[in-house]
Amino acid sequence: MSRISLNSKCRLCRAEGTKLFLKGDRCNGSKCPIEKKGAVPPGMHGIKRAKKPTDYAIQLRAKQKAKRIYGIQETQFHNYYTKAKNLKGLVGDNLIKLVERRLDNVIYIIGLASSRNQAKQIISHEHILINGKKINVSSYSVKIGDQITFDPKVLDKYQDNFKVADKDFKIPSWLQASSSDHSAKVVAEPVLDEIDRGININLIIEFYSR
């Protein structure tokens, strides 16, 4: 990954005023700009931009933050919102569950990638199998019963980044992961109480409901 792309991801975190963990382990190190200077907005004027944001701007920021955390483009994110409205239950809960079930997100939260961006790359290279079949679609929505496995032919290339075997690493209860063969199984729907991404879902719903 180039220095330019790394810096651009840092700018996204600074714009949101918090770490989005877009660069995996790099975000936990001392080189993280937020660790060095705090959450100063990007640009030459930085912290001087202090005027009070409008309600629209606050709602927009909430939406942008969610998109950046999950690495989803606007059209696709809006499609998730539309689908969430047509499902039974609360729209906000449905929306969170839909994006949590994305394959790239699952690969990340079970510890088989250091970031969602790396998870996308792994999937695009067809290193992930769902129920024994290769898949290259990051937005694939996992279902209860899906068995997720890593192509054993490329394990050596990526296993240094695997966190699933770490003693203190925790995965959500709706997923079961095996550190011995780097696999996982979907055993339930995402549990909302276990999801803490710092996202204000109500502001997102307000934005799309205008």
For CA atoms 111, 113, 114, 119, give the dihedral sign. negative
Report the CATH superfamily, name and number, of domain 53-93+196-210.
Ribosomal protein S4/S9, N-terminal domain (1.10.1050.10)
Residue 201 above 60 pLDDT?
yes
Among 109, 129, 119, residue whose Cα is nearest residue 173: 109
The pLDDT score that the predictor gives to residue 5 is 52
Q: Is the pTM of this model over 0.85?
A: no
Binned at pLDDT 50, 70 and 90, residue 1 comes out as very low
pLDDT at 137 over 90: yes
Render pLDDT for 90-130 as a digit per residue (tens, 0 to 9). 999 999 999 999 999 999 999 989 899 999 999 999 999 99
- 1-51 shares its CATH topology with 102-189: no
Classify 1-51 by CATH class: mainly alpha
Which residues lie closer than 8 Å to 12 by C-beta, 6 or more apart? 20, 22, 68
CATH 3.10.290.10 correct for 102-189: yes
pLDDT of residue 123: 97
Q: What percent of the chain has pLDDT over 90?
A: 59
Output the CA torsion 17→18→21→26 (10° steps).
90
Question: Tens of pLDDT along 149-199?
Answer: 999 888 888 877 778 777 788 899 999 988 888 899 999 999 999 999 999
Q: Check pLDDT > 90 for residue 60.
A: yes
Q: Give the contacts of 181 (CB within 8 A, at least 6 positions apart).
A: 149
Please state the domain extents for the chain: 1-51, 53-93+196-210, 102-189
Name which residue leads in pLDDT, 26 or 198: 198
Per-residue model confidence (pLDDT) at position 4: 43
